[in-house]
Amino acid sequence: MSDRSTFWPAPPDSITARIEAVGVTVTASCGDRGVFLLSGSSKTVAQLVKDYPGTLLQIAPDRAMLVTDAQVGLQDGWHPAGVAISDLSDAHIRIDIRGPAAAALLALGSASLAIDPNPRAAAVGFAGVTLLVEPLPDGARLYVERPWAPHLWHWLLAATQTAKDQP
């Protein structure tokens, strides 16, 4: 049986991983923020989280993800208001792509982001996987599920290394 651990490079350290390329900086982080998936009527979800500071990423008409630094009283399970709540704080690796060349790198990975860097639905296809996008003033923050994070990181490494060779 061949060992595939050399073909598949080791995953990056999600605390220290960083890519510096011309016009763009890519960093990874995880686990230090509260992330909650909420499903139900969008009005009810909005009402439920209105007091919690943070970002609400709309994934679908009845699905949103709250990202917050604050301690919130959201419990896993079925909320009587008719909302399903799941703690996903460890589900994603956050990858920040920032800098003047960030838009080009984001467009490289996603036809959707090439057309609209501020998509109405946060879920987009990027580099072959589905992830969530939070637009930033100088780029974007990608929320990629942990199992796909090494692939995305290696894709970003390849893209930033070869982008300078673009004709």
Partner 1 sequence: MTGPVRIAKAGGCALPFTFAGRSMQGRAGDTIASALLANGISTVGRSFKYRRPRGILSAGEDEPNAIVDVTLNGVRVPNVRATTQALEAGMQVSPVLGRGAALLTKLLSPFLASGFYYKTFLWPNWHMFEPAIRRMAGLGRIDPASRMSAGPGGNLSVDLCVVGAGRSGLRAAIRGAQAGQSVLLVERQDVPGGSSLWRGGDGVAGLLSEARAVGVTVWTGSTAFGAYENGRLGVHRQGDSVTLGGSLWVVQAAEVVLATGAIERPMLFERNDLPGVMLADATLNYLRRHGVLCGARPIVATNNDSAYPVALALAEVGAKVTVVDSRPPSERSAAAAKRGIRVLTRARIARALGRGRVSGMVLADGQRIEGDLIAVSGGWTPTLHLYCQAGGKAIWDEGKSILVPAFPVPGISLAGRVAGKWEAPDDLPWAWSAAPEIPGDGVSRKVWIDLQNDVTLGDVELAARENFTSIEHLKRYTTLGMATDQGKTANLLGAAAMAQATGRATTDLGLTTYRPPYVPVPMAALAGLSRGPVQSPLRRLAAEAAHRAMGATLWDYGGLLRPAFYGADEGSIVEECLAARQGAVVFDASSLGKVAVMGPKAGELLDFLFAGRMSTLQPGRIRYGLTLNEAGIVTDDGVVLCLGPDHFLVSCSSSHVGGFVASAEEWRQTRFGRDAVLIHDRTAHWATMSLSGPKAKAIMAGLGIVGTLDDDAFPHMAFVMGQFMGREARVARVSFTGERGYEISVPAGLAVALWPSLIEAGAVPCGIEALGVLRAEKGFIYVGQDTDGETMPHDLGFDAPRLKRRMGFVGDRALQLPVAGDADRKQLVGLAREGGGVIPAGAHLIEDGPRRSIGFVTSSHQSPSLGRGIALALIEGGRARIGEQVTWFDLGKTGRATVTPACAYDPDGSRLHV
**Is residue 126 involved in binding partner 1 (CB under 8 A)?**
no
Cα gap 141→147, rounded to integer Å: 17
Pairing relationship of beta strands 55-60 and 92-98 according to DSSP bridges: unpaired
**Is residue 45 involved in binding partner 1 (CB under 8 A)?**
no
**Is residue 43 involved in binding partner 1 (CB under 8 A)?**
no
Among 28, 37, 102, 140, binds partner 1 (CB under 8 A): 37
Report, in Å, the least distance between residue 152 CB and partner 1: 8
Token pair, residue 128, equals 């072959």
Give the closest residue to 141 by CA, choosing from 128, 126, 155, 154.
126
Report, in Å, the least distance between residue 88 CB and partner 1: 5
Name 41's Cβ contacts closer than 8 Å, sequence gap at least 6.
62, 82, 83
**Is residue 162 involved in binding partner 1 (CB under 8 A)?**
yes
Stretch 60-99 residues interacting with partner 1 (CB under 8 A):
62, 76-78, 82, 84, 86-92
20 versus 90: smaller Cβ distance to partner 1: 90
**Is residue 108 involved in binding partner 1 (CB under 8 A)?**
yes
DSSP for residue 20: E
70, with CB counted inside 10 A (0-12, 13-18, 19+), is exposed
Report, in Å, the least distance between residue 51 CB and partner 1: 22
**Is residue 41 involved in binding partner 1 (CB under 8 A)?**
yes
